[in-house]
Structures are given as structure tokens and as C-alpha cells.
Structure 1
């Protein structure tokens, strides 16, 4: 294929273009890679071996384990702190792309007459494009197939360096997208239907300014500190009260086993069978009975919970005493300061998720040379043990996403009650609005804007041909596959999500990707980057 491209370059004036049929074959190979990994999931789902609960379990597992490992390994290994200044143009382009996609989604949603919940869904489909599996496959292939992508500012530039730079660009774009996706996208745009329960059509809810309006736990704790007399000596402290609140004890991810319920006197409503704790015998062995491991586990869990509660109660009591010892004016000033700070901290904490924690840890390690040496230098103990384990787990993330994608395309696995609750007409309109807002309108705006920027602004990174190709691929890429995970976890328009993925990755992916690559190559040639 490379030889055919070279012959074509000698024959036609468009030196950056491979033969059109070769380009189509290249794109088709990258698309087929996605199809081949997704196909087993579709087949298993059609055979009834991959039901909706299994898909949701795998989505949660991927979010909690494999995706954080992938993010940690890629950022920590590839990113150099010295490169951050030179790559500063990437966040700017990311913000512009996100703003353009957001604007397109809002305009299209208004044209379709959507209310808040549907508008947020279309916005998520528009602003979060695929920056992982498909673009990585394309960049890897293009770096070795298309001649003329070498950057003249790098002495001795070769295909391997072109590929490495392309992957680095994708990683930075990818992690910026991950941060926004698992914060704003997870908690706001694709919030569960219950967040919109106050609206007559399920479209309006408790989201106001990007936050839930429930009183933050930190603010509740402040109330405890501000009024220690009303709360006695902490016998009924704020932590105990908050734990008895079912809203605050529910996990964001809906996982975890049942927990003991607190009584008004601070005691526990035991979940253990009373016979397991007494000497009563059901089999006549003098008060002894067959060992009950489950009962022991529950007793151990209750004992640990009691110890934890005693420790937290002591901490709160100490804080109450320290607070009471302060002058009233100091208490007033600290209260005024703490209220807005606690709201900000609570909002940040609510936005955090395992992938975001992984990204923060990876940035810390990348910023500390000694830590990066231990984690990512071959031969060190940490690299041979911890890092290799993380890499193996991270390598599972993308294939697992694609397998779940294939299962999502088999609509017979989606929860029937969810499908029955969705309006078929609304579902079709959501699909069309999402495709317009993601794969057509942003590209129509970004393509000329970026071409003019690369042509006339003296920014060195815009002269790198592979960078231009990466930007174009991301401008019109299909909807991110991870949105299927979030929709499954939060039960958000799962039927519409399935149709969007089918339309994006089966129907439109091949022609749209060919157009993206051709536009990128035209821009590379027009700007004189080759």
C-alpha cells in the first residue's frame, strides 16, 4: 500500500494524497477492527447469553477498574511535563470544539422542540466524540501509509515518530474529554431520570446550575459545629444522622450490599438471624448449632461499623468542643467563609469518579521524575509488578467497551420496561438530532475555522501534518463509546443510545471517515505543512 501511494504521488500534483481506493481500504480496515471486536458481543446478546444486567455489570466494572487503569497507564507513560507548554494549543482547540458542538446541540434541540432532559442527552451525544479506539487505529495506519506526513522541524523524522506524536495528541485530547465526560457528562447531561422527576414530562428536575440541590453533607456538618449546644454532647451527631438518610447512603453507582439501619438511640437494627446470635438450637445439640459463616461475616461487619461510628463520634465531639471554645465573632467569620467553600468542595467531590482519580494520580506521577522512573522504567520492581498489572487491566478497557457496544446493538437485551417507557417518535428524533449535532454541523464549522487558523497563525504545532489530521478526525468523530456505559449505569435513553451507536458505527462511519481524512489532507497541502 505504501508503494502504491508513492507511485501515485509521483503521478499527480496532490502529493499528500494516497490513491482514493487505497484510502478507502485503509479506513475500511480501521472500521472493521471495531466491527470484529464488537461482533462477538452482538452474537452473544442475540443468543440470550448477554442480557441487560450483564451489560450493566460490565459497564460498571469497566468504569471502576479497567478504564482507570487505561487512563493511568497512558498518561503516566506518554506525558512529559516539559511538553505541556508546547501542547498548550490542544486545550484551546478542545474548548473551541466543545463550544461549537454545544452550540450546535442547543440549536438543533430547540429546532426539534426538546425539553431539558432530551436537550441534555443530545448535548452529551454532540460534545463527547470518540477519541480512543477508532482514531487511534486510523492514526496508527495513516502514519505508515501516507507519505509526506514528516515534520520538517524535526531532524530525522520518520514514520514511527509520526505515529508516536499522533498518539500523544490523541491522549491529551482523550484525557481532556475524559475529565469533562465523567464530571459534567456523568452527573449533569446524562443524569438519571430521577433527577428530572419534578417536570410533568420527566424533562425538568433538580439540576440547577450543574448541581443537585440537596443540602451538601459538608454544610450539614457545619450546622452541627455552629450549634453544638442544640446537639448535646454528640450523642446524635451529624454523621449518624446523615447515615440514616437513605439519599445520602445510596452509592452513586448503585453498588454495594445492604447496610445496617440506625435507630433513634444510636443502636443497630441487626440483619443477622437472631438464632445465629443465641444459644437456641434447632437440631438438639445442647444449644450448639452448625457454624454460620454468613452470620459471622455480618457480625464482623456490624462490629467494624460500630467501631467506625465510635471513632467518628469522638472526632465530631472534639470538633464541637474546639468550635465552642472560639469567640462568637470568630465563629461568625468562619461560618461565613466555610459555607461557600463547603459548597465548592462538595460539588467537586460529587464530580469525581474513578477515571478522574486515575488521571490525577497519573499527572502527579508524570510530574515527579523519581516516581515516573519507578513506575515506567523497565526493570524496576514497581514496573515489573504494579505497572504491568495496571497495563494488563487497562488493555481490557477498549475491547470490553466494544464488546458491550456490540451487545447494545442487539436491542433485545435492553430492559423491556425501559424500552416501553421511551416514546418511539421521541427516540427517532433524538437519533437524528444527535447525528446532526455530532457528525455534521461541528465539522462544517470547525473545518474552515481550523484551516484558516493553521494557515495564518504562527503556531508551530499547527505545522505538524499529523496534528492537523488528528484535529479533523476528532471534529467529526462518532459519539464516544463510553456514553453507552453511562447511559446503562444511569438508565438514560438506552434505546436511543443503541440506535445512535448503530447509525454512527455501522451506517455512517465509513463515508464520514473518508471525508474527514480527505479534508485533513487537503488542509495539510493548502497550509503548506508538507
Structure 2
């Protein structure tokens, strides 16, 4: 029990230590708001794409996509359950319409990288890690490596959706108002032309309608695109193309020791920068706690309740059903490392990367600050300990 508590506390402290450093730097005016936004923007444009490219391209392959198909299936299941929970509970919490996309983003996109990897690593080397042995030659090192690979593969799909749909959810809506003005102006101009030159033929109307539809589709795709998403797509292409992957990741390759290592080095800076920027915002906590509107409090309560309590319960139940029904047919269903890794990956708090998006877009910054503070500073440790105990209990129950 002590080992599990220490593992969870150490995983959280890894995050909070860097956050505290960021808060200290901001307190002594080494980082102001403009510098923080600039750093977040730079991180989103360059360092985060480097991190995603190295993590995805080095792990993904066609064989893994085929062998580990339950992982994307679980991710889709968790996303669907979280979406349904949001649609059902946001009206009950009386969350305003303009805040619902924020709640949706925070609930759908959890921390699938740093925190679950740290918890899995700590669990593997603890005394309880021996209960995760599945193969005859399993050791603490193999259990840790296998669990981390499952979590990273789960995180691939989270990264793709987070930097596309999640990015669009947290985008500023002022452009939408501009589009409405443009459409209104266009309609007025068209109407005046109709009055001046007569009616437009059905063929011309159809052509304009098709052109407008294509234009709207291209605008939607463009708004969903972001540098991290483009890097993730490129990484998938490299990972699925064996010659390209060998060229970049074979240790005998010239590019592995030059280009690949350079990208990896840049990617390692991404998470610390996110945490430093998050810590820089912490000096605003006292002010925002005092001046936060009632609407922000409702939004934060709904987000924390769904993301930290209801979603983990549904994730644990889903994995338990999979373990009970799938053991006779799938080897993965009998692997305790897989079951524990998926439970941990599905029960973590809101992704810290969302703070990076809100800072860069200058939207929902106060709400995100409150959500991350309550998620990581208050609820994370007890919830993570409860989740790990539940996962180990399920593994023990299924083994008997």
C-alpha cells in the first residue's frame, strides 16, 4: 500500500515541481503574461510537433495497429462515453452554451502521456508490480516497458484528436462573427444584383451552392489543422512506411544520429515548457479565485465531476467487462499489464496541453487554470490511488 501511495505521489510531484518553478519565475517577474503567451505559442508551433513526431513515428507500425486493435477501440469507447456524459450532465449543472465546448474539451482529452507513464513506471517497480507478471520471463523491466508501450500507443490516438477536434473546440469564436458579417454582406450584395439584373438561373445557383459548400469544407479543415496535428499525421506516414522508418530510426542510419536526434532533443523541451507556463499562471490563482464568476464555478464543478469521477468509473467498468468476456479469445484480455495500463490511461485528469492551447488562443484561460488546479492539486492523488487499487483488484479477481 505504501509503495502505491509513493508511486502516485512521486508521479504528481514530478509535475508539480516544474509547475512550482514556473510560478516562482513569474513571481519574481522573470516571466510576464506576454512572454508566457509567446512561449506557449512557440511551444505549440515547434517543440510540441517535435515531441509528437518522435513519440508516434518511433512506436507506430502496421503490425502494432493490427495486433493492438483493442487500444483504439477502447479510446473510441472512452471518448464516446465521455461525450454522452457531457451532453447529459452539462444541462443539469446549468453550464452556459459558450462554456460547454470548454467542458467537452476538458472531459474528452485527458493526460495520456506524462502522468500515466509515471504511474505505470512506479507501479512496475513496486512490490505490487509482481502481480502483473504474465509471461514466464516477465521482470520489472519488461512489465514497465510493456505497460508504457500500451499507454503511448493509446496516447497516439488522443494526440490526433486533441490537436484537431480539441484545438477547434478551444478556438476563439470572434472569427465566426466575422464570417456571419461576411455572409450577410455577400447575401445583401447578391440580393441587390438580383434586383438589378434579374433572377439567377437554377444552374448558376446550384454552382454557387456547390462552390460555397466546398469553401466551407476547406475552411473547416483549415481551422482543425494545427502544427501538432500535421506532425502527428506525418509521423503516422513515417511509421507505416518501412523504408522511411528505417531511414530515420535505424541506428546505423546517418539521419538517425543527426536529424532524428535533433528532433528528439527539441521534443524533450515541450512538456517542461507547458508546465513552466502553467506555473506562471498560478500567481493569478488568488485573484481569479476571488473574482471568478458564478458561471466559471459551475463550469469547473461540472468538468471536475465528470472527468475525475464519472469517466473513471465508466472506464474501469468497461475494462472489467472486456477482461471477463475477452479472456477466452484474446491474449491481451488476459494480460494484467494491458488491463492496468488501459485503466490508468482512461482515468487521468485533464490534459495539461489544453492549457497550452488556451494560452495561445487567449480563450478560457481562467477556467483552465481553475480546472488544472483542482484536478492536479486536489483530486489527482486520491483519485489515482483509488484507480490503481481498483485496477489491481480487477487483475487479481480475473486471475482467480
Measured against the shorter chain, the TM-score band is 0.7 to 0.9
Partner of 1:191: 171
Q: How far apart, in 1, do the equivalents of 2:242 and 2:204 lie?
A: 43
| Aligned positions of 1:364-383 closer than 5 A | 364-383=237-256
| 1:359 and 2:232 are equivalent in the alignment | yes
Shift of 1:338: 6.3
Partner of 2:130: 147
RMSD of aligned alpha carbons: 3.0
Contact 2:96 2:295 in 1 (8 A): no
Partner of 2:55: 74
The correspondence for 2:313, drawn from 424, 444, 455, is 444
Contact 1:117 1:196 in 2 (8 A): no
The correspondence for 1:157, drawn from 138, 152, 155, is 138
Shift of 1:105: 2.0
| Aligned positions of 1:454-465 closer than 5 A | 454-457=323-326, 458-465=329-336
The correspondence for 2:298, drawn from 426, 429, 435, is 429
- Give CA deviations for 1:367-387 in whole Å, capped at 9, x if unaligned: 222211121112321111100
| Aligned positions of 1:498-509 closer than 5 A | 498-509=369-380
Partner of 1:348: 221
Shift of 1:493: 2.2
Gaps of at least 5 residues in structure 1 are: 1-19, 198-205, 207-211, 217-329
Partner of 2:16: 35
| 1:386 and 2:367 are equivalent in the alignment | no
Contact 2:95 2:298 in 1 (8 A): no
Task: Please identify the structure whose Cα radius of gyration is greater.
Answer: 1
SS at match of 2:91: helix
- Give CA deviations for 1:195-230 in whole Å, capped at 9, x if unaligned: 576xxxxxxxx8xxxxx77989xxxxxxxxxxxxxx
Partner of 1:525: 396
Q: How far apart, in 2, do the equivalents of 1:195 and 1:430 lie?
A: 24
Q: How far apart, in 2, do the equivalents of 1:131 and 1:97 lie?
A: 12
Q: How far apart, in 2, do the equivalents of 1:158 and 1:502 lie?
A: 37
Gaps of at least 5 residues in structure 2 are: 184-202
Q: How far apart, in 1, do the equivalents of 2:370 and 2:213 lie?
A: 42
SS at match of 2:90: helix
| 1:173 and 2:44 are equivalent in the alignment | no
1:409/1:193 CA distance change after superposition, 3 Å? farther
The correspondence for 1:89, drawn from 70, 89, 101, is 70
Q: How far apart, in 2, do the equivalents of 1:336 and 1:195 lie?
A: 22
Partner of 1:485: 356
Q: How far apart, in 2, do the equivalents of 1:164 and 1:345 lie?
A: 41
Contact 2:59 2:153 in 1 (8 A): no
SS at match of 1:157: coil
Partner of 2:114: 133
Contact 1:191 1:492 in 2 (8 A): yes
> Number of residue pairs matched?
381
| Aligned positions of 1:233-252 closer than 5 A | none
Shift of 1:165: 2.1
1:87/1:340 CA distance change after superposition, 3 Å? farther
